[in-house]
Structure 1
């Protein structure tokens, strides 16, 4: 419905006269003045852009390696350490993004990430004296894309190192931006959700556990003797530090688990029978109302963060970082595919190169798809 409204507005405003191309399934904007803008930017920052361009080649290899390591390690975790398996989904407004705040943060973040990504491609291409014909963006119903369109002949005739600089620049700019934004967010308690050890311990004071606000009457928690103001620190040996740690424990109705709490400075272990959730009888509950506030305290605590700004910046960080990393996977539509093809082209016959590339594409797609599929196996169809 939203897409139909967008098309009607685009048609009524006659956007075709202003560089837009309108189709039933897409809305595309192209601007032919991108080259002049990039040239002006380059005259002021040429030395820095040259360093960035060289870094992008090395970063391209590193990001491709990290992307494979993350996806393959995540698959192994599903079978070896299920609690460490990171559930993945493709972010699509109206499909996997269903809450209004999530859609709003996503829609605000995507243009920023695309401008940084495509701008980096364009300015490095200008540095390498490769003409940019057009630049712009496209919306395919619920999917978004940005682009700069180089002159195909000039790009094909460019040196291999020049091509690698141009291709790697987009993803590198996103990851560098994510690192800069992440450095600022280290002053924000909500960023502790995504900061790995040992960095987490360097910048945050860890909480002792999750506070019990109240006990559900007649629950296993009440019968076991859990009390208001107890701090839950563990369940069946799983360390509980934040409310999200409860998701690491497999709670089945009727099972008895060992809950470790801190009470008046003393550690107590209590056997608690898991009760069924009133909303979903197959889902188990300990039988408490818990404090869901983030308990991590940043050591660099000098900014008073607004909750909505915090969530927007967290989304912006997440999208920028993962678009940068995933974009370097060797797939036909991603920069990683072009990056890898540029490395091996002219080193073998076209037929052999195609066989190698499509074998790599198939392997990458299988690994990526398995991560998505196993996420649904673990938690079913989930939305954000």
Structure 2
């Protein structure tokens, strides 16, 4: 069963159950959105907040400038990405246009995306993003003395979400810096989780993965649209030779394309699923290098001495754990920092409006924030469209 079938079955089960037991489960249905509010976890959030309110406030005193840094950084990064996309549109045919902004749906290959999020790792990673983000908002709201009206789960079609609903009047009456702490809390929790996951995956890589495995060829992770390999090489294929040259790891793969193969040359790609003829094109980053249009990673095999001592299960379990931490890191840092884009209704937009309100009227701060928000969202739409439209057109 592929990811789309999984989502289709899950959609049917969730929506049929929600509609049948709507009153019993206290589920609200609003168009494509299912929502269930509860007050059960309010005491839990309150207890965490009250155990060390000074810690939470001071941690967010540090977190606010960190979030402001990412908020300011986001727009130049988007503009740089937009410039790269526009430049690639006029580059040599066959180069791929890949945006730094993409849609992450676990298990589903998004056209034009430079990455594919695995189904299981992605779902677990998204749960950590949502839960820690929303609970952090709730903890800081309670630390600031603001009541929480409800906590809940929601479903937009098949996309899960969660929310913590603070008392609106309480938020309005809070000081500007208190609001900034509350708004920053969600993304800072994601950044903190990403940092912890990064440390754990680095430790696993250094102390367990590196001594336990050796590369044996490279595995295709994705093929870029409108490139030589697109439609020929498939995800999961293991490339072992290019024109007879042995591919042992990612380094030799790159070296062969850069030094042994000329742009425009037809090559034989030997994989574990057969040999394929592909005519290379020019790499847009270096016109002297051949380009296939594939994203690959090392294909690993357990070292013989490790296998004889520990078997295959433990090394592969640790390897799986490494990738779990990788995707927790990737999704938390990616979604957490994107949420700081100065565009409402994202937290970055709310923070921008509060910061502007220090030196100008609320009306002017609101108008500037709305203008920046429209500008930011337009760039995001263009970046996503620039990668998807060429594929589906």
TM-score, length-scaled by structure 2: 0.68
Work out which of the residue numbers 47, 61, 74 in structure 1 matches 2:54. 47
Long gaps (5+) in structure 1: 191-205, 216-220, 233-239, 247-256, 261-268, 296-302
In the alignment, what sits opposite 1:241? 251
Instruction: Give secondary structure in 2 for the equivalent of 1:293.
Output: strand
Classify the secondary structure of the residue corresponding to 2:52. Answer: helix
User: Which residue is equivalent to 1:148?
Assistant: 164
Does the CA contact (< 8 Å) of 1:66 and 1:325 recur in 2? Answer: no
Distance (Å, rounded) in 2 between the aligned partners of 1:270 and 1:282: 12
Partner of 1:25: 32
- Mapping 1:202-241, distance limit 5 Å: 213-214=240-241, 221=243, 226-227=244-245, 229=246, 241=251
CA deviation after TM superposition for structure 1 residue 287, in Å: 12
Give the corresponding residue for 2:266: 274
**2:198 is the counterpart of 1:186:** no
Give the drift of 1:314.
Answer: 2.0
RMSD: 4.4
Shift of 1:128: 0.6
Count the aligned residue pairs: 325
Unaligned 5+ runs, structure 2: 1-7, 207-213, 219-237, 282-289, 301-313
Deviation at 1:130, TM superposition (A): 0.9
What is the DSSP-based 3-state SS (H/G/I as helix, E as strand, rest coil) of the residue aligned with 2:172? helix
Superposed displacement of residue 165, structure 1: 0.4
Residue 103 of structure 2, aligned match among 66, 78, 90: 90
Counterparts of 1:1-384 in structure 2 under 5 Å?
1-2=8-9, 3-12=11-20, 14=21, 16-23=23-30, 25-78=32-85, 79=87, 86-92=99-105, 96=109, 102-189=118-205, 213-214=240-241, 221=243, 226-227=244-245, 229=246, 241=251, 259-260=258-259, 269=260, 271=262, 273-275=265-267, 284=280, 293-294=298-299, 304=315, 306=317, 307-345=319-357, 347-376=359-388, 380=391
Shift in Å, 1:61: 0.3
Q: 1:18 to 1:242 in 2, by over 3 A?
A: farther
Q: Distance in 2 between matches of 1:230 and 1:280?
A: 15
How far, CA to CA, are the matches of 2:374 and 2:331 in structure 1? 25
Q: 1:7 to 1:343 in 2, by over 3 A?
A: same
